[in-house]
Amino acid sequence: MPIAIRAAAALDRRQLLLRSAATVAVAGLGSIARPSLSRAADRPLISGGIQSGDVSANSAVVWARADRPARMQVECSTVESFRSIIRTATADALPGSDFTSKVLLDGLPPGQDIFYRVRFDDISESGIAGETQIGHFRTAPAIRSNISFAWSGDTAGQGWGIDVSRGGMRTYRTMLDNRPDFFIHSGDHIYADCPVERELKLPDGEIWRNIVTEQKSVVAHSLEQYRANYKYNLLDDNVRAFNAEVPMFAQWDDHEVTNDWSPAGTHDDSGYAEDGTSLMVARAKKAFLEFMPIRAAPERDGRIYRKIAYGPLLDVFMIDMRSYRDSSWNRGEDPGDTCILGSAQLAWLKRELVASNATWKVIAADMPIGLISEDAVALGDGPPQRREHEIADLLSFMKRAGIRNTVWLTADMHYTAAHHYDPNRAVYQDFEPFWEFVSGPLHAGTWAPAELDNTFGPKAMYQKGCSAEQGENLAPCFGLQFFGRVDIDGKTGVMTVTLKDVDNRDLWSVDIEPRMDARPGQIMAQHI
């Protein structure tokens, strides 16, 4: 049954945000709002829009890219008129980062709509300044409040790029119409290994016509080609509008590098660095970190997995199922120890889950647990094997530690589904029941639902993808593009998960009551 929108008051408040994200601000108070009087050709410009990310109760990352060496100037306010400025920040956009730049705004008030404006100044301090763009995000609440967010993944895959005549990447516009507090991108932001051709023939005989660029017309190997994949997506009006209004929590999967990559098993003609790491993976990761509004905290040392606290009702655990996996295929006959999270990340996740006092603990994963895949976790019916041992260890740990109210969100499979895991249906039974929700693609080919195994007892409560008659790799114009919406009621704590399509139809929904019998979860560190 479709849910009622519980955040109606919040949505009403946000009607003022319906302006285009590309609007150029030339009015208002403060130095940033004053455009330079120099010739337009002399001014550094914003290239690819603006975006925010990793928003907490009192801080957020703001990102932009210049068209030349420049200095980014950022101001933010709790009012759209910018009559009072609460924080400012600057950062240089230089060739070494492809002119991308990001700043961390801290000391922000919790639970507030924050308006920010970005401008690039000439880096020589000549006084030449570019025009300004305005963005928005909402900080996490400090008290129990309604929360709404979206998740999905898989953008510009299988050669389906930007066809302007078909509305471009329409799912981003639909998600923006939902006005989520934030968006979890579950990976495959780009398809570095999927070139975009000018025309593709559709099953009905029509022609899909892509915007094309030189570097997005080849498989990416160089750093510049990886960067070009992100810049290609930013050519889409829907993507830029969404980025300016909704903060992103970004993780990666395989196509940010190449299909089904593993840390030590992926290379091109350049091979490996002295420490054994793949040079191609290193280039891909550099481009990802440059173009994502992700915190660049020194203590993380370029690490992508992290926890984002979003008030007393929600902690989001952004895990990385790609960077620390073993380098073999996930086949039952292969011998030896295997992993998909790695010992360090698994220990971190256990510690953070124990320490979390949030009602809900969302584990944002690159890929599902129970769908059979040589690239993922599940191998087929039976007791845990290979990578499944890590998942079994984590699930049984959460049961012993009294960690309740965990929900897994993911994409990767290019269809949407709701999976309920129950030990009463499982071969391995030492865990508490939990939900896993799959949604995607945002803008890529659609596939048929995959087979589930019985190791952890998943049951498909809903699934929607291609039919046998439609075939595989169905183009985005056929409407099977998906995202998920999560609403948490500030009073009751009930989580409502709704699977939606590109036309904003509610396909399936469930209300999940929080369990309030959770113990504090304090256990000795040696047990983790």
| Distances 143 to 136, 159, 302, 309, 310 between C-alpha atoms, Å | 21, 45, 31, 12, 10
Structure-token match 């030590």, residue found: 264
Q: How, if at all, do strands 482-488 and 495-501 pair?
A: antiparallel
Cβ–Cβ < 8 Å for 463, 420: no
Task: Compute the mean pLDDT over every residue in the chain, rounded to the nearest whole number.
Answer: 90
pTM over the 0.85 mark: yes
pLDDT tens figures, 502-511: 999 999 999 9
CA separation for the pair 190, 377 (Å, rounded)? 22
Long-range contacts at 32-41 (CB < 8 A, ≥ 24 apart): 32/73, 32/74, 32/75, 32/117, 32/118, 32/119, 32/132, 33/82, 33/117, 33/132, 34/129, 35/129, 35/130, 35/131, 35/132, 36/127, 36/128, 36/129, 36/130, 38/128
Is residue 316 predicted with pLDDT exceeding 70? yes
Q: What are phi and psi of 403, to 5 degrees?
A: -85, 115
CA separation for the pair 505, 446 (Å, rounded)? 17
CA separation for the pair 42, 37 (Å, rounded)? 10
Is residue 400 predicted with pLDDT exceeding 90? yes
Radius of gyration of the chain (CA): 23
pLDDT-based confidence at residue 39 (cuts at 50, 70, 90): low
Q: Mean pLDDT across the stretch 448-458? A: 96
CA separation for the pair 252, 289 (Å, rounded)? 10
Q: What is the pLDDT of residue 521?
A: 44
Is residue 28 predicted with pLDDT exceeding 80? no
Tell me which residue of 332, 405, 310, 382 sits closest to 53, measured CA to CA.
310
Q: Does the 8-138 domain belong in CATH 2.60.40.380?
A: yes
Tell me which residue of 304, 291, 451 sits closest to 371, measured CA to CA.
451
Q: Which percentage of the chain shows pLDDT scores above 90? A: 80
pLDDT tens figures, 330-374: 777 666 678 999 999 999 999 999 999 999 999 999 999 999 988
Domain boundaries, the chain: 8-138, 153-527
| Distances 183 to 116, 175, 248 between C-alpha atoms, Å | 18, 9, 5
Q: Which fold has domain 153-527?
A: Purple Acid Phosphatase; chain A, domain 2 (3.60.21)
Burial (CB < 10 A; 0-12, 13-18, 19+), residue 286, is: middle
Q: What are phi and psi of 346, to 5 degrees?
A: -60, -45
Tell me which residue of 115, 120, 97 sits closest to 43, measured CA to CA.
120
Structure-token match 């080849």, residue found: 218
Q: Mean pLDDT across the stretch 250-275? A: 89
Biggest CA–CA distance in the chain, Å, is 71
More confidently predicted of 516 and 231? 231
Q: Prior bond to 441 cis, omega within 30? A: yes
CA separation for the pair 152, 438 (Å, rounded)? 8
Residue 244: which H helix or E strand, with range?
helix 237-245
Q: CB count, 10 Å around CB of 212? A: 15
CA separation for the pair 196, 220 (Å, rounded)? 11
Is residue 33 predicted with pLDDT exceeding 70? no
| Distances 482 to 40, 70, 138, 506 between C-alpha atoms, Å | 41, 38, 24, 10
| Distances 491 to 112, 308, 488, 510 between C-alpha atoms, Å | 19, 22, 9, 18
Which of 22-26, 38-42, 352-356 is predicted with the least confidence, judged by mean pLDDT? 22-26
CA separation for the pair 499, 278 (Å, rounded)? 37
pLDDT-based confidence at residue 1 (cuts at 50, 70, 90): very low
Structure tokens at 416: 């949407």
CA separation for the pair 387, 461 (Å, rounded)? 25
- Residue 518's identity, in one-letter code, is A
Q: What is the pLDDT of residue 27?
A: 34
Helix, strand, coil percentages for the chain (3-state, nearest 5): 20, 25, 55
